[in-house]
Amino acid sequence: MSKVVVFVVSDSLGETAHRVAHAAASQFGNDMDFRRVSYVSARDALDEVVEDARGLRSLVVHTLVLPEFRAHINARCRAEGIAAIDILGPMMDGFSTICESQPKLQPGLIYQLDEQYFREVEAVEFAVKYDDGKDPRGLLKAEIVLLGVSRTSKTPLSMYIAHRGYRVANVPLVPEVSPPDEIYLVPRDRIFGLTIRAEELQSIRQERLKALGLASNASYASFERINEELRYGEGIMRAAGCRIIDVTKRAVEETASKIIEYYNRRDKLGD
């Protein structure tokens, strides 16, 4: 069966439609091709989307602010038998009813007004720059620092937490490489160690080796090596005064929420 093609259409950046579509798509196992069409300013661009979607296993998802654009693409998709999801229109209609006023109909207004959005962008850029111990100087600038051995979800956690607006840096712990001295200078309420059960880590590492086309019995995935790394890592974490979090069988979202909760608590070190 052919791949599903999702057209994400907006008269602004299209980030909202993209996130919503990806969130929904994650519930399905299908291989999907996302195509973003941003800053639509004329009906011709909408017609091109419909033309491209025709004949494909396609879905059009849009966050068009201007009513004439929404009406146009919805009508064109109906005529061509193409599924279309209007994310923004029903919400705006609902708010119009409750607020008893009309919307401003200015595309991109959320990015002009939402300081949190810009904070998130800055935080993501920070997390990319200081990922995997690239630059120890970032540790003292970070709001949250993560320590852990390989495959304890340091990078996914950093990205997830960054999308909540927090500056995050992470450092891999490897017995053969001394961690940067800066980790001992980070305030204790900002630094978190990630640990995991050896059996779970072995399974994760074996899958990683398979994905790379390597033998799953390599030293990287051996119990001896894993236990050595975990002992070493937890020793460093204790020396740094980390709060240690077990990520075994935990989703990234769950671990991230726990870290953010601890970080935001006034009595962070109280338990």
The arrangement of strands across the sheet holding 4-10 comes to: 32-37, 4-10, 58-63, 83-86
Does the structure show a pLDDT above 90 at 187? yes
Q: Give the pLDDT band of residue 268 (cuts 50, 70, 90).
A: very low
Radius of gyration, alpha carbons of the chain:
23
Q: Work out the average pLDDT over 152-165.
A: 95
Query: CA nearest 187: which of 246, 105, 268, 98?
Result: 268
Same domain for 168 and 47? no
pLDDT of 74-112, one tens digit each? 999 999 999 999 998 888 888 888 887 787 666 655 555
Same domain for 127 and 58? no
Predicted TM-score (pTM) of this structure: 0.61
% of residues, the chain, pLDDT over 70: 92
Q: Is the dihedral of CA 71, 72, 78, 83 positive or negative?
A: negative
Same domain for 65 and 101? yes
On whether residue 270 sits in a domain, the answer given is no
Task: Give the count of domains, the chain.
Answer: 2
Same domain for 209 and 187? yes
Q: Is residue 63 packed enough to be buried (19+ CB in 10 Å), middle (13-18) or exposed (0-12)?
A: buried
Same domain for 137 and 108? no
On whether residue 120 sits in a domain, the answer given is yes
On whether residue 256 sits in a domain, the answer given is yes
On whether residue 271 sits in a domain, the answer given is no
Q: Per mean pLDDT, which of 8-12, 26-30, 114-118 is the most reliable?
A: 8-12
- Could you give the CA distance from residue 137 to residue 185 in angstroms, rounded to a whole number? 11
Read off the CATH number of the domain in which 219 is found: 3.40.50
Both tokens assigned to 66: 């201007």
12 CB neighbour count, 10 Å cutoff:
20
Same domain for 189 and 134? yes
On whether residue 196 sits in a domain, the answer given is yes
Same domain for 204 and 162? yes
13 CB neighbour count, 10 Å cutoff:
17
pLDDT of residue 104: 65
Same domain for 104 and 42? yes
On whether residue 269 sits in a domain, the answer given is no
Domain encompassing residue 66: 4-113
- Could you give the CA distance from residue 246 to residue 193 in angstroms, rounded to a whole number? 8
Both tokens assigned to 239: 């020396």
Q: Give the pLDDT band of residue 271 (cuts 50, 70, 90).
A: very low
- Could you give the CA distance from residue 170 to residue 233 in angstroms, rounded to a whole number? 13
CB 159 within 8 A of CB 183: no
71 CB neighbour count, 10 Å cutoff:
13
Q: Which amino acid is at 206?
A: Q
Does the structure show a pLDDT above 60 at 266? no
Same domain for 132 and 96? no
Query: H-type helices in the chain, by residue range?
Result: 15-25, 43-53, 67-80, 88-99, 109-113, 115-129, 154-162, 198-211, 223-240, 252-264
Query: CA nearest 163: which of 208, 195, 123?
Result: 123
pLDDT of 204-236, one tens digit each? 999 999 989 998 889 999 999 999 999 999 999
Does the structure show a pLDDT above 90 at 269? no
Q: Per mean pLDDT, which of 35-44, 93-102, 237-246 is the most reliable?
A: 237-246
Q: Is residue 42 packed enough to be buried (19+ CB in 10 Å), middle (13-18) or exposed (0-12)?
A: exposed
On whether residue 77 sits in a domain, the answer given is yes
The residue out of 113, 129, 150 marking a domain boundary is 113
pLDDT of 63-77, one tens digit each? 998 889 999 999 999
176 CB neighbour count, 10 Å cutoff:
6
pLDDT of residue 114: 59
Average pLDDT over the chain, rounded to whole? 90
The residue out of 113, 143, 158 marking a domain boundary is 113
The residue out of 44, 78, 113 marking a domain boundary is 113
Same domain for 76 and 167? no
Q: Work out the average pLDDT over 126-148.
A: 96
Does the structure show a pLDDT above 90 at 125? yes
